[in-house]
Amino acid sequence: AQKVTQAQTEISVVEKEDVTLDCVYETRDTTYYLFWYKQPPSGELVFLIRRNSFDEQNEISGRYSWNFQKSTSSFNFTITASQVVDSAVYFCALIPAAGAGSYQLTFGKGTKLSVIP
């Protein structure tokens, strides 16, 4: 069984501050994918990134960056120079790459980010 833990329930930052959202996962699978999704107040889950368990390179996309460390089973997400539009609930998720449950995303409980102008 998979488990995803997002220990930070809510975070508030002032606009332009950097913020890191933590994600720790547990899985027995050797290959898997990790994800981050954004859920704004409208409710729709917006895909942000997918990371293969074989690829531990950090990734940067604009103001977003992701730090994957397999040794600590963590996949953290940093927003640089936060903006009010970043306010949302952010979910980390995991899916096995093959075998049982390879169709089923396991989500953490989410971190609610509030960016204060």
Partner 1 sequence: DTGVSQDPRHKITKRGQNVTFRCDPISEHNRLYWYRQTLGQGPEFLTYFQNEAQLEKSRLLSDRFSAERPKGSFSTLEIQRTEQGDSAMYLCASSYDPDEQYFGPGTRLTVL
Binding residue (CB under 8 A) for partner 1 from 83, 102, 114, 116:
102
Q: Which is nearer to partner 1, 18 or 47 (CB)?
A: 47
Q: Which is nearer to partner 1, 108 or 115 (CB)?
A: 108
51 neighbors 106 (Cβ within 8 angstroms): no
Cβ atoms < 10 Å from Cβ of 112: 15
Spatial distance between the Cα atoms of 84 and 13, rounded to a whole number of angstroms: 10
Under the binding rule (CB under 8 A), the answer on residue 99 touching partner 1 is no
According to the 3-state scheme, what is the secondary structure of 14-38?
A: ECCCCEEECCEEECCCCCEEEEEEE
Count of residues interacting with partner 1 (CB under 8 A): 23
Spatial distance between the Cα atoms of 98 and 117, rounded to a whole number of angstroms: 44
**Minimum distance between the CB of residue 117 and partner 1, rounded to whole angstroms?**
25
3-state secondary structure of 56: coil
Among 22-30, 41-49, 59-67, 70-78, the segment contacting partner 1 (CB under 8 A): 41-49
Binding residue (CB under 8 A) for partner 1 from 53, 82, 88, 110:
110
Binding residue (CB under 8 A) for partner 1 from 33, 49, 64, 67:
33
Under the binding rule (CB under 8 A), the answer on residue 36 touching partner 1 is no
